[in-house]
Amino acid sequence: MNLEAASRVAAECRDIATAANFRAEPLKLDVSQEESVASATKYIVETFERIDYCINCAGIGVQLARGISEADFGEFSRFLRIHVEGTFLLVRSVSAAMQLQELKPVDPSNPARGGTRGSIVTLGSGNSFAAAPHLVQYTAAKHAVLGVTKNAGM
């Protein structure tokens, strides 16, 4: 991740934020590295005391679009590492932190809506459901991301 660019985006967010207590913290994170994910989760919990929302959208684009008979195994492996292993590591780490959090009402003005310890959203693509020509690495990874996400919701 480009920490310098993230710092600029965080500054822009702070400039346009309307809530007085708004905070944006840029953070360098490699979702394919277990220690990086664990460290980031720990930092976020220590900084903000809890994680209420996690949007999981890390991914990379196809560099070598080819049919399966010519597909590059290195790129295929890299896609699985970033998309699938990254999704698994982030969802596992954040859900473990959320399980330790105090239950908060979904809507304080409507207690009947129940409570939550946090929400995780994983972004996929149309290729989570359907194949596309010359994108075996992307399609396989996005199908697997959908599987990890469905399992996490059980």
CA distances to 35, 47, 60, 77, 124 from 42, in Å:
10, 8, 25, 28, 25
- Secondary structure of residue 56 in the 3-state scheme: strand
Which two tokens mark 25? 């913290």
- Secondary structure of residue 115 in the 3-state scheme: strand
Q: Which residue of the set 28, 42, 104, 142 is catalytic?
A: 142
Cross-strand pairs, 66: 135
Q: Which residue of the set 28, 43, 53, 138 is catalytic?
A: 138
**Which residue do the tokens 């149309």 mark?**
126
Q: Is 142 a catalytic residue?
A: yes
Which two tokens mark 61? 């684009």
Q: Is 43 a catalytic residue?
A: no
Which positions are catalytic? 138, 142
